[in-house]
Amino acid sequence: MTAERPKLVLASASPRRLGLLQQMGLDPDHLQPMHVDETPLPGELPRQLAQRLAKDKAEAALAWSKRDTAWTGSHIVTADTVVAVGRRILPKAETRDEAEECLKLLSGRGHRVWTGVGLVTPSGAVKTRLVESRLRFKRLGRAEIDAYLASDEWRGKAGGYAIQGLAGAFVVRLIGSYPNVVGLPLAEVMAMLEGAGYPVRAQWANPPVPV
């Protein structure tokens, strides 16, 4: 931990989000995942779910930082990503059947990826941002779906795919932020952190090596 700058906590267990922060030149001082109930509320839209979960995780992180005083006054980043076709929220695929259903639904169609970002400031304020990206997949043949399922890359991924991996070959159109689809919209995160007094650009002379 560097004494010359405020402390930074990433409240996520996602190696993709850690890698994206490192791509932005930041190396968090601590990783502290926040676990909240991610079940959509009745009638909740995908964008509402993403923003609510980011806020819930930020509020949980604030409560944690008050209990663990070593991290009181930190900048804490939270995020949650939701993939949706229309109003239908796709799961974070944990089984082959779930992933297959997602890929069949996404095949040849447009979909949206929403990431809600939460930030706990050193003063204890909770701020949120919502970022949308729009994508379209090519029409997937049976052989392509089977090959992707066999890769196991889909496991634990919202919508049953990872754009930064093999599934990048399925994307024929992307409007909006690419890192948002991976799991963290960097332009917005940078603006939020700098707006809250965290010196992002001051660390660019010696950036960390992304994992």
DSSP-derived secondary structure letter, 92: B
Nearest to 196 by CA among 117, 126, 121: 121
Residues in the chain: 211
Cα gap 211→9, rounded to integer Å: 17
Q: Tell the burial category of 135 from Cβ atoms under 10 Å away from its Cβ (0-12, 13-18, 19+).
A: buried
Task: Examine the residue annotation and report whether 29 is marked as an active-site residue of this protein.
Answer: no
Catalytic residue among 37, 68, 80, 97, which? 80
Cα gap 164→157, rounded to integer Å: 11
Cα gap 120→108, rounded to integer Å: 39
Q: Please give the helix or strand (H or E) that residue 84 lies within, else none.
A: strand 75-85
Contact present, 15 and 178 (Cβ < 8 Å): no
Cα gap 88→106, rounded to integer Å: 11
Cα gap 29→18, rounded to integer Å: 11
Q: Give me the active site residues, please.
A: 80
